[in-house]
Amino acid sequence: MTTTPSPVAAVAGRLIVSCQAPEGDPMRDTATLVRLARSAEAGGAAAVRVNDPEVVAAVAAAVALPVIGLWKDGDTGVYITPTVRHALAVAEAGAHVVAADATARPRPDGGSFADLVTAVHAAGALVMADVATLEEGALAARQGADLVSTTLSGYAPGSPRRTGPDLELVAALARATATPVVAEGRITTPEEAAEALARGAHSVVVGTAITAPTALTHRFATHLTRR
Ligand SMILES: CC(=O)N[C@H](C=O)[C@@H](O)[C@H](O)[C@H](O)COP(=O)(O)O
């Protein structure tokens, strides 16, 4: 009998590729995002992270990897899978793991992260808690999150604004909780990804540095025009 490894075990010590595109970006197209996910799979990613139930369903049908799904609604306050309704739509679309904001900020429907965890688990999926601080990560772990990710450090109150990844938060979370910690946000080199694992991360998410040609082109273009 063969058993399917859990998504948490599948990403241990390995790379997760975030295949997303902002509103208005030419890459924001379901078929294009599916190709990015297939490229990530071909390149050796252990899992992919994708936004929007439609994209989750298309990617889940196209790759054999675990799919970490989210649903961004807006771009201020709690916008990453903000409510149970969003989370269940992502799970029903086929995500193995639902990523959701677990910061201390008020949620748009007045609900709680703990309720979201309960609902997603009942639907048969796991939960990745996207946090900005040590306190938020420790609480999310106690509330039953299966993974805690540093996704929102640098973007939500109480966290440092940095140009690079928040590896101090990765290390602090890894010391504070037995729940697997994911390093995510502004990781731009393989060396930074390896350093995150060395600091205690269970897995590493890289998005922009791999899957965002508009942002990558902008980095080169602005560097040249500033000279
Ligand atoms: C803050 C926020 O909304 N982060 C989003 C979460 O899904 C994505 O826009 C990021 O691309 C992802 O976290 C990966 O990070 P980076 O692209 O820096 O490697």
Beta carbon of 101 within 6 Å of any ligand 1 atom: no
- Taking residues 78-95, what's their average pLDDT? 98
pLDDT tens, 17-36? 999 999 999 999 999 999 99
Percent of all residues in the chain with a pLDDT value above 70, rounded to a whole number: 98
20 CB near ligand 1 (under 6 Å): yes
Measured from the CB, is residue 103 less than 6 Å from ligand 1? no
Q: What is the pLDDT of residues 46-70, one digit of tens each?
A: 999 999 999 999 999 999 999 999 9
Best residue for ligand 1 mutational test, from 67, 70, 147, 184 (most atoms within 8 Å of Cβ): 184
* Residue-wise pLDDT tens digits, 99-127: 999 999 999 999 999 999 999 999 999 99
61 alpha carbon – ligand 1 mean position (Å)? 23
Confidence class for position 226, pLDDT limits 50, 70, 90: confident
For residue 146, give the 3-state DSSP assignment: coil
Is the pTM higher than 0.95?
Answer: yes
Say if CB 154 and CB 115 are below 8 A apart. no
Q: What is the mean pLDDT of residues 133-142?
A: 98
pLDDT at 1 > cutoff 80: no
Q: Is the pLDDT of residue 5 over 90?
A: no
Burial of 224 (0-12, 13-18, 19+ CB in 10 A): exposed
pLDDT of residue 3: 61
Contact, 166 vs 159, CB < 8 A? Answer: yes
> CB of 81 closer than 6 A to ligand 1?
no
Q: Which of 15, 16, 18 to mutate to test the pocket of ligand 1 (most atoms within 8 A of CB)?
A: 18
Domain 11-225 in CATH 3.20.20.70: yes
Average model confidence (pLDDT) across the chain: 97
Q: Is the CB of 97 under 6 A from ligand 1?
A: no
Task: For 75, list phi and psi in degrees, rounded to 5.
Answer: -145, 20
pLDDT for residue 2: 52
Sorted by where each begins, the domain ranges of the chain are 11-225
The reply to whether ligand 1 has any atom less than 6 angstroms from the CB of 165 is: no
Residue-by-residue DSSP string for 63-132: -SS-EEEE-B--SSSS-BS-SHHHHHHHHHTT-SEEEEE-SSSPPTTS--HHHHHHHHHHTT-EEEEE-S
pLDDT in tens, 171-199: 999 999 999 999 999 999 999 999 999 99
Is residue 49 within a helix (H) or strand (E), and if so which, with residue range?
strand 47-51
Half-sphere exposure of 128 (CA within 13 A, CB side): 36
pLDDT at residue 147 is higher than 80: yes
| Atom from ligand 1 closest to the CA of residue 208 | 17
